[in-house]
Structure 1
């Protein structure tokens, strides 16, 4: 039976529940960008009423650690626990030996480059989620630019990516660094194929990712201000769980 909304030490019970939820956000149990369990699940977990959970979430929204839209409530607290760090960086090449001083990331809902559309099996002129990444050192050296296009499968089956569709206007910063974790959480086994090719003044990396059913998930083109011989390698990440 659910408890009342008043705790024995006179602190509102919803405030205590909010504190427990905040602890889960801080320790990475619920990572930034991920959806929180439904109100009924939280109520059952904490042994309280759904109204108490609703009040706790409202408190966290006011503090800016939770946001709610038509798809549910999501963690917005910066940071994540070590066990939630993705096995691979997104986009490819985002983690360089020297951390970038200047970095910009955006997402748009647009028609991808023709070669991306072909790789993803998209019909001509069909829009999809496109992510852009750019980073440089303070002196302007070490420029890295990446363009990623996601397939219809990825946008449909990975709810964290689906949420970006309504706000993919190219203006706000978009942190998709946990994209591969989100895909694995959705039950997708990730197979990456990275082709690294030397260009006259830079290196181009093309990453293609598909799942255990050989369905394309994303393609990324990264251009790095560096020099390196061509290299191709492949590996697989199992689905989570």
Structure 2
């Protein structure tokens, strides 16, 4: 059997590997206990934490959350990497980041996944689109009648929409995908010019709804998805991560 020591990035086989792995885990546990004890005694919360977030979360949720967190803990150095959900999960798996926040289901059983927020998705059209003028809820089967602007492969939003269509007995292959774009901002721009309709997180279109440059319609049945924290099961947790997770959970509760 091969034992991988995640924090050291090495693999050792057989009984020797098992013993080294056990000692390494004990060392990391003791280090974490020491670090947390010292900071508990001094009241110090400092250090660096690398966070990864999918595009929608990084652009529309994290700025306010991390801004409040940084104001409360000014000695913490935060680094943010942005990718789609698939890319963020890969970064967590390979220890590129300490903590990921994604909008798609995570299937890797070696990762710890904690839901922090439920996100509501809606149909988005140009204000003069016939669906907007009709103003009623949209059935999933109706979506195939219109050009559809979608996110790229690997996007959490696209994955959630695809699964929703399948669950509602709509074949995703029948969708009239007219354009594939890599960010919510680019997608909104395409819909504003009436190149097609789309499905987006409502949190991404608040400004456009106020300016009347986009219109929203509810799906029937409605569609929501969880935003989740993702981290290594084997990775030791330092005080700074504990504080961020606790702060983020409280922040998400306030946003409900």
Higher RCO (C-alpha under 8 Å, 6+ residues apart): 2
Is the shorter-chain TM-score for this pair beyond 0.5, marking a shared fold? no
TM-score, length of structure 1 as denominator length: 0.28
TM-score, length of structure 2 as denominator length: 0.27
